[in-house]
């Protein structure tokens, strides 16, 4: 009987891996194997008093699915995750079974399939002019991942991580794009403090998106480039791509006649030019009758405005033309709009603060290249 477990846990090193391979090479391959050998092995692992953290099961083909119920019972008794590595198993139910065992214990499942490409030679038509025939070489692929099996879990996780990275990258690009569209700072705060503890500010020398330095622009010109309207941040402009028209409908609800309706007069159901309908006092439909026999009071038509079934799921907004529309604002759209509005309002506030400094508070921004200053002294 070979020794199945080492006395103590060993570290995974090249030397220990070599010892394991040497141990496998010296096993008696002629020993009779039973159908429940995998379950027996897991049972000994569960009963072993070792402080291991996980169990790896490497299976070739469907060798571990001979006694599925017995193996499942042993797996359910495990206290640690079971990681299964399947090699060259083409049976889809067996792969699903092994994957379910890993999911139960919180382990991982990996399946590997060899893909073999073999050349296939086929002769072309005989060419009488060249007095020869060509040979076409094609590759035939054998093996590989079964087409009827769902994608491997590790591949799905990689794809999900890749998509999340792409989404994050797109958001970063959008943020950088928004930063480029933000108006340049109207004032660059210097690190030095002036006299009296006041922060020294000076106009920035950077160029803005309008192609002119901001200290040389009037407030009107500056707002033409950096206002909410010029940045297309209006409410209707923002919601234009996420809005759709509201649909209403009118239905006629039939109500029983009131007690003050005469029992000897027939009143039509509607007066819109269509054929009138009558209802007896039991609420049942009765065809129009022009005979002199006694008639029953007619039902009362009560028109009611109803909305489409999806109306309650969206926000109603009164559009600028007076119509009612539905809008669907996603969290991404809200965050993008909020970030752009805050950046624009911050730039406007900085422009206002810059205009309130020094002589600009009295004279405003001087945009002319040459200016004359007249000083009048009062005697």
Query: What is the domain-level CATH number for residue 85?
Result: 3.40.50
Please tell me the predicted confidence (pLDDT) of residue 275. Answer: 43
Average pLDDT over residues 343-351: 86
Average pLDDT over residues 167-191: 62
Q: Which two tokens stand for residue 271?
A: 């007066």
Q: Which two tokens stand for residue 253?
A: 């609800």
In 3D space, the residue among 346, 333, 349, 355 whose CA is nearest the CA of residue 179 turns out to be: 346
Is residue 303 situated within a structural domain?
yes
- Range of lowest pLDDT (27-31, 259-263, 317-321): 259-263
Is residue 196 situated within a structural domain?
yes
> Do 297 and 274 fall within a single domain?
yes
> Do 85 and 225 fall within a single domain?
no
Determine which helix (DSSP H) or strand (DSSP E) holds 249, and give its type and residue range. strand 248-255
> Do 192 and 77 fall within a single domain?
no
Alpha helices by DSSP H, 53-152 = 68-76, 92-105
Please tell me the predicted confidence (pLDDT) of residue 358. Answer: 72
Kindly tell me if the per-residue pLDDT of 323 is higher than 70. Answer: yes
Please, which pLDDT band fits residue 212 given cuts at 50, 70 and 90?
low
Q: Higher model confidence: residue 113 or residue 341?
A: 341
Please tell me the predicted confidence (pLDDT) of residue 185. Answer: 43
Kindly tell me if the per-residue pLDDT of 294 is higher than 60. Answer: no
Average pLDDT over residues 202-220: 57
Please tell me the predicted confidence (pLDDT) of residue 190. Answer: 33
Please, which pLDDT band fits residue 243 given cuts at 50, 70 and 90?
confident
Beta-carbon count within 10 A of 177 CB: 9
Beta-carbon count within 10 A of 258 CB: 8
Average pLDDT over residues 179-205: 44
CA–CA gap between residue 101 and residue 82 (Å, rounded): 8
Domain that holds residue 80: 14-115
* pTM beyond 0.85, yes or no: no
Q: Label residue 287 exposed, middle or buried (CB < 10 Å: 0-12, 13-18, 19+).
A: exposed
Helix 153-181 vs helix 331-355: angle between axes, to the nearest 10 degrees?
20
> Do 103 and 212 fall within a single domain?
no
Please tell me the predicted confidence (pLDDT) of residue 249. Answer: 58
> Do 88 and 109 fall within a single domain?
yes
Is residue 121 situated within a structural domain?
no
Q: Label residue 95 exposed, middle or buried (CB < 10 Å: 0-12, 13-18, 19+).
A: buried
> Do 105 and 228 fall within a single domain?
no
> Do 208 and 353 fall within a single domain?
yes
CA–CA gap between residue 210 and residue 285 (Å, rounded): 74
Is residue 146 situated within a structural domain?
no
Query: Cα-flanking dihedrals φ and ψ of residue 132, to 5°?
Result: -160, 165
* Percentage of residues in the chain having pLDDT higher than 90: 1
Please tell me the predicted confidence (pLDDT) of residue 292. Answer: 43
Is residue 182 situated within a structural domain?
no
Average pLDDT over residues 255-278: 50
SS3 168: helix
Q: Higher model confidence: residue 11 or residue 194?
A: 11
> Do 110 and 207 fall within a single domain?
no
CA–CA gap between residue 90 and residue 106 (Å, rounded): 24
CA–CA gap between residue 243 and residue 316 (Å, rounded): 10
Residue the block writes with tokens 């009143």 = 267
Q: Mean pLDDT across the chain, nearest whole number?
A: 72
Residues 6+ apart with CB under 8 A from 88: 60, 61, 112, 113, 114, 143
Q: Which of 91, 115, 139 is the last residue of a domain?
A: 115
pLDDT in tens, 12-69: 899 988 988 888 888 776 666 666 778 888 888 888 767 788 888 888 887 777 788 8
pLDDT in tens, 91-100: 888 888 888 8
In 3D space, the residue among 130, 134, 107 whose CA is nearest the CA of residue 121 turns out to be: 134
Please tell me the predicted confidence (pLDDT) of residue 72. Answer: 87
Please tell me the predicted confidence (pLDDT) of residue 85. Answer: 87
> Do 18 and 110 fall within a single domain?
yes
Is residue 316 situated within a structural domain?
no
> Do 207 and 346 fall within a single domain?
yes
How many separate domains does the chain show? 3
Is residue 156 situated within a structural domain?
no
* Pairing of β 188-193 and β 285-286: unpaired
Is residue 37 situated within a structural domain?
yes
> Do 292 and 341 fall within a single domain?
no
Distances (CA, A) of 158 to 105, 153, 154, 189: 21, 9, 6, 46
Kindly tell me if the per-residue pLDDT of 196 is higher than 50. Answer: no
Please tell me the predicted confidence (pLDDT) of residue 164. Answer: 81
> Do 234 and 286 fall within a single domain?
no
Please tell me the predicted confidence (pLDDT) of residue 248. Answer: 59
Please tell me the predicted confidence (pLDDT) of residue 53. Answer: 83
């Amino acid at each position: 009987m070979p020794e199945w477990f080492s006395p103590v846990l060993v570290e995974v090193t090249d030397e220990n891996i070599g010892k394991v391979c040497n141990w496998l090479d010296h096993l008696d391959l002629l020993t009779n194997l039973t159908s429940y050998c995998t379950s027996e092995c897991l049972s000994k692992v569960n009963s072993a008093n070792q402080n291991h953290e996980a169990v790896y099961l490497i299976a070739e083909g469907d060798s571990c699915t001979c006694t599925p119920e017995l193996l499942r019972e042993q797996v359910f008794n495990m206290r640690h995750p079971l990681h299964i590595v399947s090699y060259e198993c083409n049976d889809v139910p067996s792969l699903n079974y092994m994957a379910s065992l890993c999911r139960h214990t919180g382990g991982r499942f990996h399946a590997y399939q060899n893909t073999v490409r073999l050349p296939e030679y086929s002769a072309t038509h005989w060419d009488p002019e060249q007095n020869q025939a060509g040979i076409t070489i094609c590759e035939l692929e054998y093996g590989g991942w079964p087409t009827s099996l769902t994608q491997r879990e590790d591949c799905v996780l990689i794809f999900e991580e890749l998509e999340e990275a792409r989404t994050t990258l797109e958001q970063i690009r959008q943020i950088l794009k928004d930063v480029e569209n933000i108006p340049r700072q109207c004032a660059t705060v210097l690190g030095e403090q002036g006299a009296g503890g006041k922060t020294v500010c000076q106009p920035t020398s950077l160029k803005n998106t309008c192609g002119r330095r901001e200290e040389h622009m009037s407030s009107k010109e500056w707002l033409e480039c950096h206002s909410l309207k010029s940045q297309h941040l209006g409410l209707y402009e923002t919601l234009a791509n996420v809005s759709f028209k509201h649909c209403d409908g009118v239905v006629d609800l039939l109500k029983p006649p009131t007690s003050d309706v005469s029992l000897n007069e027939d009143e039509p159901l509607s007066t819109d030019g269509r054929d009138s309908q009558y209802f007896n006092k039991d609420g049942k439909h009765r065809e129009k009758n022009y005979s002199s026999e006694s008639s029953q009071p007619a039902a009362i038509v009560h028109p009611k405005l109803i909305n489409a079934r999806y109306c309650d799921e969206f926000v109603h907004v009164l559009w600028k033309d007076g119509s009612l529309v539905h809008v669907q604002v996603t969290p991404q759209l809200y965050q993008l709009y909020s970030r752009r509005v805050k950046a624009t309002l911050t730039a406007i506030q900085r422009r206002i603060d810059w205009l309130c400094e020094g002589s600009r508070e009295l004279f405003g921004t001087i945009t002319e290249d040459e200016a004359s200053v007249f000083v009048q002294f009062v005697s």
